[in-house]
Structure formats: structure tokens, C-alpha cells
Amino acid sequence: MVLVITKNTVKDRDAYLPLAKAFTSDASHDRGCLMMDVCVDPATVDEVVFVSKWEAKEDFQAHVQGESFQKHIPGMTPYYVAGTDTILEIQTD
């Protein structure tokens, strides 16, 4: 299992957030997605963080090439400045 933290720098976060929430709603049904949330720090107005948990890294990589990405990312792109993905392996007993 992996935890993915996607930190995006955006312009006009108020306009970006509804689009991010719609993306998250669809993407949470992608194969291998166990959860996906949109998070913000009220003190940082140009940042949106997606936190998601996946069965496998390959599921996340397929999601990036998949239908929910193709559907939502074009509408989000005008507000997107930069982003990073951090993929962490979840350690279990």
C-alpha cells in the first residue's frame, strides 16, 4: 500500500477547489484507490494538497493516465502553477 501526497501550487484557490473536489470524487473510484481527500492550510492561500491511499504504486500511476485525469485536469490546468508527488510506502505489521 502507498500513501500519495500531491502538493499543488495554484492561483485563485477559491476557483480551483470546486474543481479539485469534483476530481477527487471521481478519482476515489479509480482502481486501487482506497481514499482521496483535498486538504488546505487556511494560512497558505496558494496551495492545495491531495492525500490519497492506493493498493499499489502501479494503481496510482495508472490513475494518472486514466479517465478521471483526462476528464478533470484540463479544467484545473488554468489554475495550476506547479506540483509535486510524494509516494510513501505504508509499513504494516
Residues 6+ apart with CB under 8 A from 47: 7, 8, 9, 10, 13, 40, 41
Q: Determine the pLDDT at residue 9.
A: 97
Q: Residue 31 CB: number of other CB atoms within 10 A? A: 12
Q: What is the CATH number of domain 2-89?
A: 3.30.70.100
> What pLDDT, on the 0 to 100 scale, is given for residue 92?
82
What is the per-residue pLDDT across 18-70, written as a single tens digit (0 to 9) for each? 999 999 999 999 999 999 999 999 999 999 999 999 999 999 999 999 999 99
State the pLDDT at residue 54. Answer: 97
Confidence of residue 93 (pLDDT cuts 50, 70, 90): confident
User: Residue 63: its pLDDT value, please?
Assistant: 94
Domain ranges of the chain: 2-89
CA–CA separation, 76 and 16 (whole Å): 6
pTM beyond 0.75, yes or no? yes
Indicate if the pLDDT at residue 82 is higher than 80.
yes
